[in-house]
Amino acid sequence: MRPVAVLVAVFLALAVVACGGGGGKSKQDKAQAQVCSARDDIAKQVDTLKGLTLSTATVNQVQTSLKAIDDDLKQIKDSSGDLSSGRKSELQQANQEFVSKVNEIASSLVKSTSLSQARSQAKAALQQLATAYQQTFAKFSCG
């Protein structure tokens, strides 16, 4: 099911998000600003996906949000190496927790036995995705 694949991708994407804003001059400040910008965009994309209904969502809408999340995760990964060791550690922990939750959600989605069950599971998975984000990356301070 396409909604299921979208949810799985969204969960994976949020796994890497983190840190705080600021347009400082140091590599560390720039990295933190990039990570926070990506984290904020992931939150926006999760909200967008949560707002879609299975009856009105288009594959293109879902793919666009998932691609944006994937790009954000790559940005976070690329930038995290320039963070302070404490921030990098905090980001890695958030990432590991998020990925674990995403994997749990993804494995439950592939066990659908009917279209109706898949829809129900996809709706629940979107809520679980939002919860996973709140429990991991949303706690990572960008202020």
- pLDDT at residue 26, as a whole number: 87
Question: In this structure, is residue 32 part of a structural domain?
Answer: yes
Q: What is the pLDDT of residue 37?
A: 92
Amino acid letter for position 112: S
pLDDT confidence of residue 10 = 57
Confidence of residue 8 (pLDDT cuts 50, 70, 90): low
User: Residue 112's pLDDT is what?
Assistant: 59
Question: Per-residue confidence at 75, pLDDT binned at 50, 70, 90?
Answer: confident
Residue 143 lies in a domain: no
Number of compact structural domains in the chain: 1
pLDDT tens-digit map of 10-60: 555 554 343 334 444 689 889 889 989 988 998 898 888 888 776 777 778
Closest CA to 133 of 10, 9, 3: 10
3-state helix, strand, coil in the chain (%, to 5): 75, 0, 25
In this structure, is residue 41 part of a structural domain? Answer: yes
Q: Which H helix or E strand runs over 40?
A: helix 27-51
Cα(140)–Cα(133) distance, rounded to whole angstroms?
10
Q: Which domain does 24 fall in, by range?
A: 2-138
Q: Does any domain span residue 90?
A: yes
Is residue 14 within 8 A of residue 91, CB to CB? The reply is: no
- Each residue of 91-141: pLDDT tens digit? 878 777 776 776 777 677 666 566 677 677 777 777 887 887 788 778 777
